[in-house]
Amino acid sequence: MTSEADAAAVAVVIPVHNEQRLLPHCLRAVRRAAATVQVPVATIVVLDACSDDSRRRVPDWARALQIGARNVGVARATGFDLAAAELSHLDPRSVWYATTDADSVVPVDWLTAQLHHARTADLVAGTVAVRWREQRPAVRAEYERRHRRGAPGPHGHVHGANLGFRASRYHAVGGFAPLPADEDVDLVARLRRAGARTVWPEHPAVLTCDRSDNRVEGGFGGHLRDLADATPDCA
């Protein structure tokens, strides 16, 4: 029987809403990360209410699903439902799920690191590094002040752009809830309440945007918008 320590396959789910410009960069990075692991990796792109050319940006090696929910929780859940169906021949304890965002770029060792942690953990909550291009310098300074590590212990941040979890644990708690934002925080909270062994690695971090035109209310983009609203130029 397969043990929990043995990863037999990986499924990566990426929710997308009108990301024709950034999606190709995301997918190229995911493919590079997938090439570094020794097990099959299925990449599932969930195109949610896209009105641009995002669908044409999905290459043949990735699966593309189109839905109209306009809800990131539903989009992530739909992707993992497909993964569960396609990998139903495997013990779900041996299947690893990972998720990132279409406006983010994962490092080449993203999946290698997750599978390393998966030998002793059920949930990997990683960090993000911000590609600063749009926000004011004062906003960047305030963000880095608030997120600066000053004490030992888990970093405690949850980012949908850098999450991984065991399939059996994910399905046991009901998967992603149909939330328009903070679906990642909600899932992590339920997994931890259910006893999922959790690690909070600071590296490798996923590179994400400081976009001001965030695609959902709330989430990381909303966090940056709130910081911008509360930060004077002289900060």
Residue-range domain boundaries for the chain: 9-133+150-208
Strands (E), 113-202: 123-125, 128-131, 163-166, 198-199
The CATH code belonging to domain 9-133+150-208 is 3.90.550.10
Exposure string of 160-198, with b = 16+ CB inside 10 Å and e = fewer, is bbbbbbbbebbebbebbbebebbbbbbbbebbeeeebbb
CA torsion through residues 66, 101, 178, 113, sign: positive
d(CA 139, CA 42): 37
pLDDT digits (tens, 9 = 90+) for 129-162: 887 666 667 666 676 766 665 566 788 999 999 9
pLDDT tens digits, 61-80: 999 999 999 999 999 999 99
CA-based nearest residue to 9, from 93, 116, 77: 93
Average pLDDT, the chain: 89
pLDDT band of residue 230 (cuts 50, 70, 90) is low
Burial classification of residue 57, based on how many CB atoms lie within 10 Å of its CB (0-12 exposed, 13-18 middle, 19 or more buried): buried
Q: What's residue 2's pLDDT? A: 39
Phi, psi of 209 (to 5 degrees): -90, 155
Confidence of residue 224 (pLDDT cuts 50, 70, 90): low
Distance CA 140, CA 223 (A): 12
Q: At residue 82, what are phi and psi to the nearest 5 degrees?
A: -65, -45
